Amino acid sequence: MTLLRPTMTQIAAVVDSERPVCAFLHDLDALRRHVLRIVGSLPAEAELFYAIKANNDPRILRMLAPHVAGFEVASSGEILRVREATGPDVRIIMGGPARTNDDIELILAQGVERLHVESLHMLRLANAVAAQAGTVLPILLRVNLAGPVPGATLTMGGAATQFGIAQSDIPDALRLMKNCRALRFEGFHFHTVSNNRDAAGHAALCAMELDLARSWATEHGLDLAVVNLGGGWGVDYDDPDWRFDVEGFTRALAPHAAGDLNLQFECGRILTAYHAVYVCEILDIKAVHGRAFALLRGGTHHFRLPSSWAHNHPFVILPRDAWPHPWPRPECTDSNLTLAGELCTPKDVLARDVPVARARVGDLVCFLMAGAYGWDISHHDFLCHAHPESIYVDEAVA
């Protein structure tokens, strides 16, 4: 699988040279090829939905629409974003722990295919709104497993979190469903972990969830049509060349996926992470109390992921030789460097004490794997700094 690593020449050809560089670059052609490889690796019974919380850029949504089964959303705003970007016919499924009357009315008005219900109150609310509209809303029940579950960067189930219906309460939910005439039960939703890098362990977790769904359906005399196993396929920001073993995961899960069951996945990060970079110009370099800092045109208000996950994000420094000023050019060589942004907070750090051979004011820092949970989760207007450019480049940059 490819990883976007643009050269200085390629960046210079597409960024605005009249002001300090700050941009997200997206390679849509490489992203398309990557998605097609993943979709082609799945069992015939499986469908891949794109979880747009990872990156809801309309250009990306339009590119993905012909190649994925549809889109998974978690808010009314995301429903409208998908419809505006891709039109009225694209499939949408909706999850998330908090729903309102307005949400459910919009689900019905916008032709959302299915709601993933996360509590008994949500079950009753969805039934009431659908009944008032004189329609029937298909649903899945989201399960929060009793645990323990395999380790991953984030855990949404197998622990006391706000997500889903506790495994012990699923029988109560299924009994309540019998009185919800405006809802149609179609199956179960499991999104238990996020960013799991253990493909074999993740396949074992999904197999257990499938067995549990089938046992509930048998016990309660239900027609089980759909099991959504969420996403959670990991990336490794410490090793940009590492890849989740999609083929191995599929092989391990295949014996459990056979039959008439519609198996669904809703992945985000593994699709979009690799084919975008965040490029920032170094505006200043200085030493403070024995530590070297590079100050960037940009920061966590554009790309919050490193701060959110408390990691050093992978980067390369791209040299620019031009220096327009008559004074000496600030630089550091063969030292540990902290890459900090332009915000008035010490938390605005994208990488801390990382060894670098050379960095100078005017050089560019290119943060790799910047296509997921970067711009979309960032506090864009804190201090009202300028937004970065968004640039879409072709396969020549890959």
Per-residue pLDDT of the chain (398 residues; tens, 9 = 90+): 579 999 888 898 888 777 899 999 999 999 999 999 999 999 888 999 999 999 999 999 999 999 999 999 999 999 999 999 999 999 999 998 889 999 999 999 999 999 999 999 999 999 999 999 999 999 999 998 886 665 555 455 555 677 789 998 999 999 999 899 999 999 999 988 888 999 999 999 999 999 999 999 999 999 999 999 999 999 999 999 999 999 999 999 988 887 788 999 999 999 999 999 999 999 999 999 999 999 999 999 999 999 999 999 999 999 999 999 999 999 999 999 999 999 999 999 999 999 999 999 999 999 999 999 999 999 999 999 999 999 998 644 44
C-alpha span between 203 and 209 (Å, rounded)? 10
What are 295's strand-pairing partners?
284, 340
Q: Two tokens at 250?
A: 């599929």
For residue 396, the model assigns a pLDDT of: 43
Assess contact for 272 and 359: CB atoms under 8 A: no
Query: How would you classify residue 383: left for phi > 0, otherwise alpha for psi between -120 and 50, otherwise beta?
Result: left
What Å distances lie between residue 173 and 136, 176, 178, 185, 363, CA to CA?
Answer: 18, 5, 9, 11, 58
* Active-site residue list: 344
Q: Two tokens at 292?
A: 């070297």
pLDDT tens digits along 344-394: 999 999 999 999 999 999 999 999 999 999 999 999 999 999 999 999 986
For residue 203, the model assigns a pLDDT of: 93
Q: What domains can be seen in the chain, in order of their start residue?
A: 8-24+275-397 (2.40.37.10), 91-267 (3.20.20.10)
* Burial class, 71, CB count within 10 angstroms (exposed 0-12 / middle 13-18 / buried 19+): buried
For residue 182, the model assigns a pLDDT of: 98
- Placement of tokens 């039960």 in the chain: 185
Q: How many residues does the chain have?
A: 398
pTM of the model: 0.93
C-alpha span between 145 and 161 (Å, rounded)? 11
- Placement of tokens 């990691």 in the chain: 311
Packed helices 120-133 and 170-177: angle between N→C axes, nearest 10 degrees: 20
